Chains A and B, each alone.
Chain A
């Protein structure tokens, strides 16, 4: 069986700088894959390209065998690949419930005319969506604020909301861009639990993070980038001791020190 996501030779340049240089990797169905690397290694660029927010200069990627290369962002989301953003995004003036229901309205098959005419099909679809939204809010622990505007949430709560929204349309693959950056330890654990739960329900996840400990404990497999290239790809135990990874993060001399310490 082929992988859920196949990325082949992804390349992106910015004004003469090659941000992503021929990156290739697979993501297996049901797995949680971490994507780490020092600043400027190209992690967020890969996310932006694969999800359609930035055009790639080369390479291709497929979801379940279906080529998504060159597709606009909204179409990729409709195909089952959703994402969250590094700068946490929410519809501040809409309620939490609305924030989630918006995320599924394009994929439930109800057209514009039916929406305006408020047909029975529309109403039952909206009821189902609201129910699903409440369920997701309960999962992330925000159920009591369902009717409140998103502007009222704290930073960490907005991150949870964004993850819940990304799950609304039953995606096959969700890419989380720095889900725990700037978040207090209690909230980090909560987000980790939430991710576990969604993964248990069958969602495949790619997590981009700077918090290496978080990635190591959560992910079954870790991909490491440096200067736009993939330098390591494997289970956390292997990655932790990989000399190239250590060198990328800590500089060569310190990396050598650590390898010697570890024996």
Chain B
């Protein structure tokens, strides 16, 4: 009981510190790292939900991210919506798309979903680049306006990086809280059951399709909203929002943190978001390193850091003998 409360207190403290950072330092590079961490944590958290917990390898996350970005940008610039409505709409659209591709491919086989999700991400890239009348093509939509929030007694204009830091961090905290509530509930347990042994779960009355669609829809919704906010931070949305780079990075975060480990993935997202600065590698070498880590993980440590910690905890239980009465 006490450990739970201590953990919650620790988490709250950590969040408070993160929110205090812009006041403690004006270093904009640090803020950019923080924004990157917040955004990636939502993407990798969603991928963890779909792949780590439910067992579905998916390349579609970046597609949902970009759909959210483009939707928000278009609704704001073409229809004068507010960013808040636009981002939510982006998330909803992403979730609907996720449900469609999930429903149609999951009924076929597990392998189908992986390949369809990959094709979907590629198709998004192609559409963004080539359907010029919709997406403005390779140039994208630059010059996105400064978003604002008008509440009684408070006007907020998101004109500085610190503003976006608060926005994305706040959203990331809410997203992680939602992830946590889901994975620690019986819904998360059902997802894990599906990943561990799907026929067994079916024999226990669990409908795998419903839970897989839930995981996909939830991760897509949050990724879409994150995308909406992120492109306004960049003040431009263009086809590079669908870059494979995002997919590779969030995959590494999940693999290193440990698929199915909530804290592991959150931790690895923080570390890996800060890595470009810490290691001062060029992007290419960093990707070479990520690739090597991926290979090593598949060969040696598929469970990541989280899995390693789990195995250590499990060693408490000695194997019972066969003749135990």
Contact = CB atoms under 8 A, between A and B. Distances in A.
A binds B: yes
Contacts of B319: 152, 154
B187 interface: yes
B152 interface: no
Contacts, number: 114
Nearest to A78: B205
A168 B205 CA distance: 11
Contacts of A145: 317, 320
B111 to A, nearest CB: 19
B189 A98 contact: yes
A159 B281 CA distance: 53
B25 interface: no
Tell me the dominant secondary structure on chain B's binding face. Answer: helix
B201 interface: yes
A91 B192 contact: yes
A156 B322 contact: yes
B205 A74 contact: yes
Contacts of A102: 189-190, 193, 201, 204, 206
Nearest to B321: A154
Interface string B177-206: 000011001110110110011011111111
Interface in B152-196: 181-182, 185-187, 189-190, 192-193, 196
Nearest to B310: A93
A107 B205 contact: yes
Interface of B: 181-182, 185-187, 189-190, 192-193, 196-197, 199-208, 214, 310, 314, 317-323, 325
13 contacts: A72-B207, A77-B204, A78-B205, A85-B200, A93-B196, A94-B192, A106-B205, A106-B206, A112-B214, A152-B320, A154-B321, A165-B204, A169-B204
Interface of A: 51-53, 72-75, 77-78, 82-85, 89-94, 98, 101-107, 110, 112, 115-116, 118, 122, 126, 141, 145, 148-149, 151-154, 156-157, 165-166, 168-169, 184, 186-187
